[in-house]
Structure 1
Amino acid sequence: MLIGEFADRTGLSQRTVRHYDEIKVLQASGRSECGYRFYAPADLDRARVIRAMRALSLSTTEIRDDLAILDRVESASSAPTPADRRELAAILADAECREHALRERIGLASDFVEMLRAL
């Protein structure tokens, strides 16, 4: 699929998709002779992972680093090494901490919305 359809299907803007391609976080699966980016169904999955990471307020550097670890572990032909397991555990612990903070903010926002509805 071309970048427009890919952007629509992922909820990302075309500008964001281009930026992610430039910084090598979400690279196009291929390019046409004219330079148009082509995306495959597997790229949709990666975009969803990146969106989830952004929802937890990870920076692009953190996303790039975490994706590198995830890619390494997923592409390995054997079980994760002890070092990989430690890195995955650190990613999980950070994600859980960020999720908890996000849930607290959602609770505060919900309280505010309920207060407004009561007026």
Structure 2
Amino acid sequence: MLIGEFAERTGLSQRTVRHYDEIHILQASGRSDSGYRLYAPADLDRARIIRSLRALSLTHPEIKDALATLDLVDSDPDGTVSTIRRDLAILISDIEARERSLCEQVRVASGFVELLQSL
């Protein structure tokens, strides 16, 4: 699929898709004869992962590292390489910490809403 359809299906802007390609976190699967970026269905999954990581406020370098870890996990589905398991455990721990922080932010925001409603 071309970048327009890909952007629409992922909820990303075309500009963001191009930027992600330039910084090597979401590269097109190929190019057409005329040089247009072409995306495959697997690229949709990668874009969804990136959107999730961005929603958790990961920086582009952190996203790049997370994607590299996930790529290694994909290359070793049995989890036989201990460094991959360690990197995955670190990624999980980081995401869980971010989840706890977000839950705390929601709790604080909810308390503030209740305070405002009681005025």
Decide: shared fold, TM above 0.5: yes
Unaligned stretches of 5+ residues in structure 2? none
1:62-114 Cα shifts (integer Å, max 9, x gaps): 11011111101202365331111111111000000001111111222233344
Stretch of structure 1 that moved more, 71-80 or 46-55: 71-80
Q: Name the counterpart of 1:76.
A: 76
The 8 Å contact of residues 29 and 39 in structure 2, kept in 1 or not, is answered as yes
Q: Where does the alignment leave 5 or more consecutive residues of structure 1 unmatched? A: none
Aligned-residue RMSD, C-alpha:
1.7
For the structure 1 residues 113 and 89, does the alpha-carbon distance in structure 2 shift closer, same or farther, using more than 3 Å as the test? same
- Separation (CA, whole Å) in 2 of partners of 1:10 and 1:116: 36
Partners of 1:55 and 1:77 lie apart in 2 by 26
For these two proteins, the number of residue pairs brought into alignment is 119
CA–CA distance in structure 2, aligned partners of residues 30 and 69 of structure 1? 23
Given that 1:73 and 1:80 are in contact with CA atoms closer than 8 Å, whether structure 2 keeps it comes out as no
Task: State the shift of 1:58 in Å.
Answer: 0.6
Note the C-alpha offset of 1:22.
0.9
Kindly indicate whether the alpha-carbon contact (under 8 Å) linking 2:79 and 2:85 is maintained by their aligned counterparts in 1: no
The share of aligned pairs that are identical, in percent, is: 63
